[in-house]
Amino acid sequence: MKRILLTGVAGNLGKIVRVKLAGWADVMRLSDLNEITDASATEEVQCCDLGDREAVMKLVEGCDGIIHLGGISTENTFDSILNGNIVGTYNLYEAARKHGVKRILFASSNHTIGFHERETQLDADSTMRPDSLYGVSKCYGEMLASLYYDKFGIETARVRIGSCFEKPLDRRMLATWLSADDFVSLIKRIFECDRLGCPVIYAASANAEQWWDNSKVSYIGWQPKDSSEKFAQQEYLQKRAVNANDPAVRYQGGGFASAGHFED
């Protein structure tokens, strides 16, 4: 890897990925809306708003690959989502096309399919059923990636991340949990495999409870190693759901499916 652009580096996942991938690329170009002041010798900083087309054009120049984590990461107003995730992702793909970037990891989300019921096993071809405006913006990002692959040959891993936190925060996350190490091993496979294409990849650890089938993407050779089982007996995860028909329990998106709607 020569020069990799990492967007959203001041966020939860960006901070972790930056540390765990230190030394993996010759140069890591770091970007976020927020300031970054502590670049190492193999890092370069170029902060901007993803919604700023000219700035994003400059940001992508000279990069061989992009790990795109930046943007709005939970439900929000349409205007915020429009700037960060709709305009921002378009700006990034246009810049990638103009500067000849060959491979991108797009941080999509399980909220693209959050209105599927939990007992439905999903795979890469399952119908999108977004549970929020945020989820809709990730569906858009996935479709944009598909267009740029079919028309311009830019490969993208459309990674539907489950819940990447230090530990599962609630019982739902026993199924959706993704460890940081598993995420980083997935990133490496995405950029190191000979042929990627434009697959949808569900990013969850090897948890006992599984909602998502990745067999259509077995060719990239990613095997998650961690499991949420090591947390399953912890006190805070023992309280069972009172109402199995509560949308937060019924649907894969959990609280995103039951939450109210943001009005601008």
| DSSP states of 171-223 | TTHHHHB--HHHHHHHHHHHHHSS---S-EEEE--S-SS--B--GGGGGG---
Question: Which part of the chain contacts ligand NAI (CB under 6 A), choosing from 80-88, 122-130, 190-198, 233-241?
Answer: 80-88
On whether the CB atoms of residues 107 and 68 are closer than 8 A, the answer is yes
Q: Does 73 bind ligand 15L (CB under 6 A)?
A: yes
Answer with the entry of ligand 15L, ligand NAI, none that 179 interacts with (C-beta below 5 to 8 A by kind). Answer: none
Q: Does 163 bind ligand 15L (CB under 6 A)?
A: yes
Q: Could you confirm whether 140 is annotated as catalytic?
A: no
Q: Does 83 bind ligand NAI (CB under 6 A)?
A: yes
Q: Does 34 bind ligand NAI (CB under 6 A)?
A: yes
By three-state DSSP, how is residue 22 classified? coil
* Separation CA 49–CA 40 (nearest Å): 22
Which sign, positive or negative, has the C-alpha torsion 110, 115, 118, 119? negative
* Separation CA 264–CA 248 (nearest Å): 24
Out of 5, 33, 133, 144, point to the residue binding ligand NAI (CB under 6 A).
Answer: 33
126: its two tokens:
């399952």
Q: Does 164 bind ligand NAI (CB under 6 A)?
A: yes
Out of 6, 28, 71, 145, point to the residue binding ligand NAI (CB under 6 A).
Answer: 71
Q: Does 163 bind ligand NAI (CB under 6 A)?
A: yes
Answer with the entry of ligand NAI, ligand 15L, none that 258 interacts with (C-beta below 5 to 8 A by kind). Answer: none
Q: Does 253 bind ligand NAI (CB under 6 A)?
A: no
Query: Which one of 134, 140, 202, 251 is the catalytic residue?
Result: 134
* Separation CA 67–CA 15 (nearest Å): 13
* Separation CA 31–CA 27 (nearest Å): 13
Interface ranges with ligand NAI (CB under 6 A): 8, 10-14, 32-34, 49-51, 69-73, 83-84, 88, 107, 109, 161, 163-164
